[in-house]
Chains A and B, each alone.
Chain A
Amino acid sequence: MERQIKVLVTKIGLDGHDRGARVVASSFRNAGMEVIYTSPWQKIEDVVNITLQEDVDIVAISSLAYDHLIVPKLIEALQSEGLGDKKVLVGGIIPREDEEMLLNAGVKKIFHPGETLDSIVEYVENIMGKTSMK
């Protein structure tokens, strides 16, 4: 049996605009993935806790109002819990000048406005090597 990809879709920080996160979550589901969906305003330690308990493969962070600036802290917290193998993706309004900082911190990929849902799904399938067992 093919192993199903498990994704956490969430928002950290103070911004509650979660329409985009919901749409992306639905696309993941429609592609056959199992999606843990939470309410926005998660604290970093909550995201670490969920990632640990649910044993997800991917942590997808939606950020529309500068919450991406705390993603490096999240990655640090994940690493200190031994969860450095989880792939962290960021999508939303991310200024180009912050990209390098995020990628250096360990973000695997950044999705900007205009990205199609299909290409996001395809990216996740690719890095998870879909067809093969982990």
Chain B
Amino acid sequence: MEFLGIIEGIKSGNKRALARAITIVENNEENYLELVSKIYLSSGKAHIIGITGSPGTGKSTLVDRVASKLHMDGKSIAIIAIDPSSPFSNGAILGDRIRMSNSQKNPDIFVRSIASRGQVGGLSKSVGNITTLMDVFGYDCILIETVGSGQSEIEIMNLAHTTIVVTAPGLGDEIQAQKSGIMEIANLFVVNKADLPSAEMTANQIQQMLHTESVIKRKKVPVLLTSALEDKGIEDLIEKLEVRWDEINKTGERERIENAHATYKLTESLKEKFLSYIENEILNGAEWNDIFKQVMDRKINPEYAANHLFTRFLKKEADV
């Protein structure tokens, strides 16, 4: 399928074209930038929902149930399920589909498994662009399930309109709930595995933590109990998602969120450009080996050495 065919295909609802376009973006194939640039112009309709939380809290199963229910309510749904790549072989086992039996048997729900490919923060570099492709294809809701690597996995808030943090009973005490990072980015909290005995207590602890927060920040984050396994609490969660989507569209909150997203994407892309440029210039520069040896011999502190290299680099740039 050639380039223009793919763009036309995506706009006219050809799933093969969408799947192929995702591969192009994932692999940075030739033309990928042109593809996403063209697609970007028609984007901005879908409700992007991020689902994050520790491994084993039941994210995949929950995503599956939420997707099925949303689909039954007449929404079109796409899922991006991210699993980790091996830092040694770069390979990955993408196994989220095992827990997504409902969505898997429903060809109307588009599921794409993505490997994190060395990216930290729970996403993969291409996820933003993949979301845009699915958005333009016409999906009403795009569910992004993050890797689930732990407390600092907050990248998703730079991509999603709504972030759901999933936890499960027995993962930690109330101090855990007060920690910075992942606990702060939730628009909705879900205590999954509510079929387990201490679920209520976990929900209470989170609620107490949030109460203090809400006094300071003047916003209320709902805490819900679900059992994805027993298909309980899902309708309540869907209702909260719909209420939030309505609310952020009415109050102008959506614009604020998308403003933050755009700022983030633009600065990150710029950083990446600068970084690779500077890396090329400095790592291949004449001084590198010498300075590096001095750092290894403990003659210069690494930060001081970096300052030195950077100053020299700026001077050289100014001379050109």
Q: Which residues of A contact B112 (CB under 8 A)?
A: 53-54
B93 to nearest A CB, angstroms? 5
A2 to nearest B CB, angstroms? 9
Tell me if B275 counts as interface (CB < 8 A to partner A): no
Tell me if B320 counts as interface (CB < 8 A to partner A): no
Contacts A36-B113, A53-B110, A133-B29 hold; do A30 and B98 have CB atoms under 8 A apart? no
Q: How far is the CA of A32 from the CA of B86 in the complex (A)?
A: 8
Q: Which residues of B contact A109 (CB under 8 A)?
A: none
A36 touches B97 (CB 8 A): yes
Q: How far is the CA of A31 from the CA of B107 in the complex (A)?
A: 31
Q: Which residue, of B20, B27, B86, B113, has the highest number of chain A Cβ atoms within 10 A? A: B113
As a 0/1 sequence over residues 18 to 32 of chain A, the CB contacts with chain B under 8 angstroms (1 = contact) are 000000011011111
Contacts A52-B15, A53-B110, A55-B20 hold; do A35 and B27 have CB atoms under 8 A apart? no
Contacts A4-B27, A38-B98 hold; do A29 and B91 have CB atoms under 8 A apart? yes
Q: How far is the CA of A30 from the CA of B88 in the complex (A)?
A: 8
Q: How far is the CA of A90 from the CA of B22 in the complex (A)?
A: 27
A4 touches B90 (CB 8 A): yes
Secondary structure call for the A interface? mixed
B94 touches A34 (CB 8 A): yes
Q: Which residues of B contact A35 (CB under 8 A)?
A: 91-94
A22 to nearest B CB, angstroms? 9
What is the number of residues of chain B that contact chain A, defined by CB distance less than 8 Å? 29
Q: How far is the CA of A53 from the CA of B22 in the complex (A)?
A: 9
Q: Which residues of B contact A29 (CB under 8 A)?
A: 86, 89, 91-93
Q: How far is the CA of A49 from the CA of B29 in the complex (A)?
A: 24
Of all chain A residues, the one with the shortest Cβ separation from B115 is A34
A26 touches B93 (CB 8 A): yes
B94 touches A31 (CB 8 A): no
B19 touches A30 (CB 8 A): no
Tell me if B28 counts as interface (CB < 8 A to partner A): yes
Contacts A37-B98, A38-B97 hold; do A46 and B104 have CB atoms under 8 A apart? yes
Which of A1, A3, A37, A53 touches B95 (beta carbons < 8 Å)? A37
Q: How far is the CA of A39 from the CA of B110 in the complex (A)?
A: 18
As a 0/1 sequence over residues 1 to 35 of chain B, the CB contacts with chain A under 8 angstroms (1 = contact) are 00000000000000110011011000111000000
Tell me if A33 counts as interface (CB < 8 A to partner B): yes
As a 0/1 sequence over residues 102 to 118 of chain B, the CB contacts with chain A under 8 angstroms (1 = contact) are 00110100111101000
B20 touches A32 (CB 8 A): no
Q: Which residues of B contact A53 (CB under 8 A)?
A: 15, 19, 110-112
Tell me if A82 counts as interface (CB < 8 A to partner B): yes
Q: How far is the CA of A45 from the CA of B93 in the complex (A)?
A: 22
Which of B16, B27, B94, B115 touches A52 (beta carbons < 8 Å)? B16
Q: Which residue, of A1, A3, A53, has the highest number of chain B Cβ atoms within 10 A? A: A53
Q: Which residues of B contact A39 (CB under 8 A)?
A: 98, 101
B92 to nearest A CB, angstroms? 5
Q: Which residues of A contact B107 (CB under 8 A)?
A: 45, 49
Q: Which residues of A contact B19 (CB under 8 A)?
A: 52-55
Of all chain A residues, the one with the shortest Cβ separation from B100 is A38
A114 to nearest B CB, angstroms? 24
Contacts from B to A (Cβ < 8 Å): 15-16, 19-20, 22-23, 27-29, 85-86, 89-95, 97-98, 101, 104-105, 107, 110-113, 115
Shortest Cβ-Cβ A-B pairs, 4 listed: A29-B91, A55-B19, A55-B23, A32-B91
